[in-house]
Amino acid sequence: MNKWFAYLALALLAALPTLASAQSFPSRGVRLVLPVPAGSGLDTMARVLAQRLAPIWNQPVVVENLVGGNFIIGVENVARAAPDGHSLLVVPDSALTVNPHLYPKLPYDPLRDFVPIMQLVTYTQVMVVNGSLPVNSVAELAAWSHANPGKLSYASFGIGSQPHLLSELVKVRSGTDMTHVPYKGIPQALTSVLANETQVSWSIPFLITGNVKAGRLKAIALAAAQRTAFMPEVPTFAELGMPEIDYVQWFGILAPAGTPRPTVDRIYAELTRVMADPELREKEFSAKGYDLSGLGPDPFAALIRRELPLRAEMVKRAGARAE
């Protein structure tokens, strides 16, 4: 019997650091690291969460935009951070599920280097063209590209980003001839289309409804299973005979691998508390075309594992590669 008491005592002693770390979190300011520029939808969402979390944690919560390398700089920064919950990654899905299939020497592993905490939201994107372009459909876009060789280009926010993969799939499936021009973020990509520096890109419907109504942009097809209430007149690619052009995207929060599970659970619980606010849900999520997810650590981890081979197939079909 004494032997079992000894084992129990050793187990309790081993657990003490983990329990203490969860109880002391946060002991200083918390960083929300974003691999995207300020002004993007993810940046806006992260800043709202930082404002709401700071009084709960009684510590400053700051947003750091570490941009570059197709998300790599920001993601690697958190992968190398101390695993104590004080550095968190707020990230779009492609940084974790697409980049591993584009870069043979990626300096992080999405499964090995991170602990998922919460999938925040899901959303879909619509293909848009400059308002002056004389096309109103994907078929007309393909025809115009062949009648005007070398004059059509599309803007993305990086190699392997959703606009890049989706545009390459459109090229393959519809025969559209267009050149890829990568930018640092969604705002820069859309600005280039509005200025007619490029002619095609993608956006969350909410972000471009004003420009569509004003005629500065045209929305021609949605990469989703169903039409959106924001633009009910816009068909899905499935309706156009291209069902594989369907990409449910997400934003999520993760911590460095090795972060104690009690700390992860505490962060998840407090994020859930923040996002349960009806005003926040309506103003920052539903009204902007985001579907609130709230998927917790274990199901979120399972989702990432599931999506990795799916995105590998998508990258292969699109013929995308790091340039």
In the prediction, which pLDDT does 6 show?
44
Q: Measure the CA–CA gap between 67 and 94, rounded to whole angstroms.
A: 14
Mark whether 207 and 253 lie in a shared domain: no
Range of the domain at 270: 30-122+249-318
Same domain, yes or no, for 168 and 311? no
Residue ranges in the chain modelled with pLDDT below 70: 1-23, 323
What pLDDT score does 25 carry?
95
Does residue 12 lie within any of the structural domains?
no
Is 182 part of any domain? yes
- Output the CA–CA distances (angstroms, integers) from residue 131 to 194, 199, 200, in the order listed: 8, 9, 10
| 93 plus 137 within the same structural domain | no
Same domain, 130 and 112: no
Q: Give the domain CATH number at 176.
A: 3.40.190.10
Q: What is the pTM of this model?
A: 0.82
- From the centroid of its chain, how far is CA 189? 16
Alpha helices in 177-228 (DSSP H): 186-194, 205-213
β-bridge mates for residue 130, sequence order: 217
Same domain? For 115 and 165 the reply is no
Residue 44 in any domain: the answer is yes
φ, ψ for residue 204, nearest 5 deg? -65, 130
Q: Verify that 151 and 218 share a domain, yes or no.
A: yes
Distance CA 261, CA 119 (A): 17
User: Is 107 in the same domain as 135?
Assistant: no
Yes or no: say if 190 and 201 are a contact pair by the CB < 8 Å rule: yes
| Residue in the block written with tokens 């690697």 | 76
Question: For residues 215 and 139, what is the distance between their CA atoms, to the nearest angstrom?
Answer: 20
**Per the domain annotation, does 280 fall within a domain?**
yes
- 257 and 116 fall within a common domain: yes
Q: Please report whether residue 312 resides in a domain.
A: yes
Q: State the pLDDT at residue 16.
A: 46
Q: Which of 128, 131, 176, 136 is nearest to 152 (CA)?
A: 176
Considering the domain architecture, whether residues 60 and 98 belong to the same structural domain is answered as yes
Query: Quick one: DSSP state of residue 185?
Result: S
For residues 263 and 22, the answer to whether their CB atoms sit within 8 Å is: yes
Q: What confidence score (pLDDT) does residue 162 get?
A: 85
Instruction: Establish if 117 belongs to a structural domain.
Output: yes
Please say whether the beta carbons of 256 and 110 come within 8 A: no
Task: Find, among 233, 239, 210, the residue nearest to 131 by Cα.
Answer: 210
The whole-angstrom distance between residue 14's C-alpha and the CA centroid of its chain comes to: 37
Separation of alpha carbons 303 and 305, rounded Å: 5
CATH number of the domain residue 111 falls in:
3.40.190.150
Q: 146 with 114, same domain? A: no
- Tokens, residue 234: 């816009």
In a domain, 205, yes or no: yes
Contacts of residue 262, defined as CB under 8 A and 6 or more positions apart, other chains included, come to 18, 19, 21, 22
Q: What is the pLDDT of residue 303?
A: 97
Q: Which residue type sits at 178?
A: M
| Count of domains observed in the chain | 2
Task: Looking at the structure, tell me whether residues 57 and 69 fall in a common domain.
Answer: yes
Cis peptide before 26 (omega within 30 of 0): yes
Does residue 188 share a domain with residue 136?
yes
